[in-house]
Chain A
């Protein structure tokens, strides 16, 4: 896999089918799927537990707006990922182009996905920091790899947009 910036686009080339599939799962991975820990993390409390009134009003007035923001980011990413589909050679490496103006949406969606997956599996700080661990076949291990892969992409996008302040949306 090769990642580079080409003008106003971030290009992820030589994506092998496995990593391409992980990328395709980003939009779906942002969905908490009714898992309480994931919901609680994505829509975290704005104040200590004893501030009942504030927390209740937050849920009523602020949370819908947050859902809209998160949904919007996911939709942008899903649209960009469409270019990974419809290849005549499904097992060949492929290339993904991300417009730089979509960088914030990608950062947001990748973060959503990482938080939801981490909440679902209860990854510890130690596990998340162990970048040398290889997936050994369990779904949990694979999900940990997924979280770290998405984190790697986030780092790359951050590096590129911070090198070009005008790209901030």
Chain B
């Protein structure tokens, strides 16, 4: 990554009476440039493919119940929990979490404890 701080520029301002004041214009600005991956970086170069927690639809589970479980297990806000619940309801499944394998397994276990249909899957 490279960054170039754009430093504040100082200048002398003179008013009508000839008085001068040194002014430094701020703020400093940091232009953060993301390291760009090389053009030839491919999916095969990925070593660490995340694991996903997928919740599947079941017509028996109440929508309100599923929403409650998402809030309890993942700490989702009510809006986010409802968004994932509706995705399960309409699309048949929703990826509710992505990350390290052992944590994904723990989440799936918790979801099974609430009787939701949930699986752990590799992202590819």
Contacts and interface: CB of A to CB of B under 8 A. Distances in A.
Q: Do chains A and B touch in the complex (CB under 8 A)?
A: yes
Interface residues of B, number: 21
A47 B105 CA distance: 10
Interface string A82-112: 0000000000000000000000000110011
A111 B68 contact: no
Interface string A12-47: 000000000000000000000000000001111111
A48 B121 contact: yes
Contacts of A108: 113-115
Contact of B68 (A69, A114, A115, A158): A158
A33 B59 CA distance: 22
A90 to B, nearest CB: 32
B109 A47 contact: no
Nearest to A46: B108
Interface in B14-43: none
Interface string A45-68: 111100000100000001001100
Interface SS of A by simple majority: helix
B65 interface: yes
Contacts of A111: 60-61, 65, 114-115
Contact of A147 (B60, B108, B114): B60
B72 A44 contact: no
18 contacts: A44-B112, A44-B118, A46-B112, A46-B119, A47-B119, A47-B120, A54-B120, A62-B112, A66-B112, A66-B113, A69-B113, A111-B114, A115-B115, A123-B60, A128-B59, A128-B60, A151-B62, A158-B62
Interface of A: 41-48, 54, 62, 65-66, 69, 107-108, 111-112, 114-115, 118, 123-125, 128-129, 147, 151, 154-155, 158-159, 162, 168
